[in-house]
């Protein structure tokens, strides 16, 4: 069977989704899971974009060993040099260079002629080859480019040393027939194309990203690019879990191997959703919570007689076998550690002890603790970093009645350890909490988006709060969990503030009442 490579861009293109702000620890955790997932290449960020991105890419390149780590660069020497400094410690240093080739992009964005674009592309690849053994070159907006110009520029960048050619449907404009035809045309007309990888990168603006990616595979693509859960700019990228499962379920048609560990799909999807705060729609293919639900009586009858009547994918295939009671309040530290290891976590003794303490607190108040609960507790400890300036919630109290004005009193420790308490009113309990916390933290806050969801089932389920806001003019996302959604809300608010302070590398001053 033919083998294709899986290029994951969750940490680069995926993080460009509106409202997603990952810190370095979270990026490293996702990268480790993508390695378990079996991604051939992990695009870990855009090193020249910011010091934070540079640090994350460098640390991921030094951590991941079984996947190739790459970073994005514009077709300028400074970007490529910065990428080399971040990626040179990787097992196989790889850089991803892009340059637009469509008439509309060349004229209105680059303000260059086709000849100037060709010259820039060749020069950037030649420069990258001075450092990188693996150079991927992308023709941005390839699906709206002139086919003859594509052939010409691809031929020249291959001569310059490119090892992978990527043909993106950057704005999700192509149909499967058009996108497949482009790959066929390039494969048949570019001298030397057989010596490089040919990659597909599809966006989902018209809902055709999966179909377009499969069309590219049918017409010669040897690498596909996408993200977990299909996150990404605008309507997102192709969802890699959909491609992996489609190629597996229909392997008699495609005869393709990907090397993806299908049993890691559920965990990878869950981790990305939790850390990005990006919810998975219930009817999302493969990983949505309704993907294996059958409500119709006819469907249920068929399932009881033979599951194959209505279920082409099993939960077990993607590692989604249901687990009821996992651990209880009488479970000991050894059983807790064993479960953590089986779930794929690698925690230091200190972090494991902290997670165990949180588990015991939860077990005292929650009747049943399931794997989803443990996943949240263990993940939070795994990505927790020491020695950062933080506001830590001490308590929050809300007075609410339909005939009264909602009032919240919050107290929190600041970075210098001082405990500050303040109160405020609001149109509702949540706004009152926000207003009281804004009087505690040093900075101007504007809430952009807020939501709470349950983790697991039942009236005692954990509640997760996700807040997207601006803090001193910078957009940041915070999240946290608690059994009480108002407590989770207050914690998520402070988590967002803390993340922005860490990002800036500033110590926060405490505002006294």
Residues in binding site for Mn(2+): 13, 201, 203, 237
Helix, strand, or coil (residue 226)? strand
HSE of 197, CA atoms in CB hemisphere, 13 A: 23
CA–CA gap between residue 226 and residue 203 (Å, rounded): 8
Q: Could you give the C-alpha distances from 457 to 315, 355, 369, 372, in angstroms and in order?
A: 18, 21, 10, 10
Helix, strand, or coil (residue 82)? helix
Our CA angle for 336, 339, 342, nearest 5°, is 155
One-character DSSP codes across 302-348: HHHH-GGGT-SS-GGGGT-------B-TT--HHHHHHHHHHTT----
CA–CA gap between residue 225 and residue 39 (Å, rounded): 10
Copy the structure tokens of residue 167.
Answer: 């043909």
- Neighbouring residues of 254: CB distance < 8 A, sequence distance ≥ 6: 214, 217, 218, 246, 247
CA–CA gap between residue 360 and residue 336 (Å, rounded): 10
DSSP state of 196: S
HSE of 121, CA atoms in CB hemisphere, 13 A: 30
Instruction: Indicate the annotated binding residues.
Output: 13, 201, 203, 237
CA–CA gap between residue 106 and residue 51 (Å, rounded): 29
């Amino acid at each position: 069977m033919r083998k294709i490579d899986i290029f994951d861009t969750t940490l680069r293109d995926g993080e460009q989704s509106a409202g997603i702000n990952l810190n370095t620890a979270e990026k490293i955790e996702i990268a480790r899971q993508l390695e378990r997932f079996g991604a051939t290449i992990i695009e870990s960020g855009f090193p020249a974009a910011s010091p934070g991105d540079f640090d994350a890419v460098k640390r991921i390149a030094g951590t991941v060993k079984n996947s190739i780590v790459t970073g994005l660069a514009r077709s300028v020497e400074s970007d490529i040099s910065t990428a080399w400094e971040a990626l040179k410690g990787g097992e196989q240093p790889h850089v991803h260079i892009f340059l637009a080739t469509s008439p509309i992009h060349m004229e209105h964005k680059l303000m260059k002629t086709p000849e100037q674009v060709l010259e820039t592309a060749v020069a950037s690849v030649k420069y990258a080859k001075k450092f990188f053994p693996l150079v991927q070159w992308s023709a941005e907006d390839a699906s709206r480019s002139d086919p003859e110009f594509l052939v010409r520029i691809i031929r020249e960048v291959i001569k310059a040393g490119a090892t992978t050619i990527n043909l993106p449907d950057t704005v999700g404009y192509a149909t499967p027939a058009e996108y497949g035809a482009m790959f066929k045309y390039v494969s048949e007309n570019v001298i030397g194309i057989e010596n490089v990888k040919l990659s597909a990168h599809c966006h989902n603006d018209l809902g055709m990203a999966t179909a377009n990616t499969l069309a590219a595979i049918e017409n010669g693509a040897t690498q596909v690019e996408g993200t977990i859960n299909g996150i990404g700019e605008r309507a997102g990228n192709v969802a890699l879990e959909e491609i992996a499962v489609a190629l597996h379920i229909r392997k008699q048609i495609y005869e393709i191997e990907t090397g993806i560990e299908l049993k890691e799909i559920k965990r990878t999807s869950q981790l990305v959703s939790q850390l990005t705060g990006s919810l998975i729609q219930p009817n999302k293919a493969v990983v949505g919570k309704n993907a294996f639900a059958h409500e119709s009586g006819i469907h249920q009858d068929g399932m009881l007689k033979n599951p194959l009547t209505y279920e082409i994918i099993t939960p077990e295939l993607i590692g989604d076998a249901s687990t009821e009671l996992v651990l209880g309040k009488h479970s000991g530290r050894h059983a807790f550690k064993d479960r953590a290891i089986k779930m794929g976590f690698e925690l230091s003794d200190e972090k494991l002890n902290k997670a165990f303490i949180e588990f015991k607190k939860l077990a005292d108040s929650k009747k049943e603790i399931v794997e989803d609960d443990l996943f949240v507790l263990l993940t939070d400890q795994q990505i927790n970093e020491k020695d950062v300036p933080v506001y830590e919630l001490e308590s929050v109290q809300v007075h609410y009645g339909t005939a009264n004005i909602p009032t919240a009193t919050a107290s929190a420790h600041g970075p210098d350890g001082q405990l500050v308490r303040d109160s405020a009113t609001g149109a509702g309990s949540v706004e009152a909490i926000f207003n009281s916390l804004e009087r505690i933290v040093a900075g101007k806050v504007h809430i952009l988006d807020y939501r709470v969801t349950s983790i697991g089932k039942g009236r005692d389920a954990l509640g997760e709060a996700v807040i997207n806001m601006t803090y001193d003019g910078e957009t940041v996302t915070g999240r946290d969990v608690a059994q009480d959604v108002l407590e989770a809300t207050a914690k998520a608010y402070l988590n967002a503030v803390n993340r922005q302070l860490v990002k800036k590398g500033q110590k926060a001053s405490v505002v006294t009442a």
